[in-house]
Amino acid sequence: MKTVVSRASFVHINYFIYWYSIRSPLRIILFWIPTLFISYNLGVIKILLLYWFIPYLFIFPVILYWNIIVNHYHTETGTRTVINPISNWITHNNGYHYIHHLFPNIPWYKLPKVHQELYPEGAEVTNNFFDSFKQLQSKSHESA
């Protein structure tokens, strides 16, 4: 488990650094300074750190790691679509991954509609993480 968490954290932290390096430093300052100031003055800075910052650094990378595996590993098309309302709500419809790869310019909130309209042939579709995991296992055994 340590290897999974550390690799996922490394990937996530690199992404975090890259994302914030391409964004305007002024926008970051204009968001975080007031947020931290208000949180501190309202006495909720610990809540902000405990329920946003710490999960963002330690839990989100694990979710991201498994999400990458589910979306890409052992697929014939290079990507898999996972139709699950809860995980798609959390990940901004990242489960509609095949459509995202075909049309990367479509905003996340339009992916379900585009998926319903197009439902491309050859798309590998599962309903949840466990279906995806079963598919991963069966394809692993086929290739062995």
Q: Locate tokens 């390096």: which residue?
A: 21
Q: What is the DSSP letter of 15?
A: H
DSSP result, 94-135: TT-HHHHHH-TTS-GGGHHHHHHHH--TT-EEESSHHHHHHH
* Chain centroid offset of residue 106 CA: 16
Mean pLDDT of the chain: 79
Q: Is 78 left (phi over 0), alpha (psi -120 to 50) or beta?
A: left
Q: Is the entire prediction scored with pTM above 0.85?
A: no
**Residue-wise pLDDT tens digits, 42-100:** 999 999 999 988 888 888 888 888 888 888 887 777 788 888 888 888 888 888 888 88
Residue type at position 24:
S
* Residue 141: per-residue pLDDT: 58
Residue 69 CB: number of other CB atoms within 10 A? 16
The CA distances from residue 19 to 25, 68, 86, in Å, are: 11, 18, 25
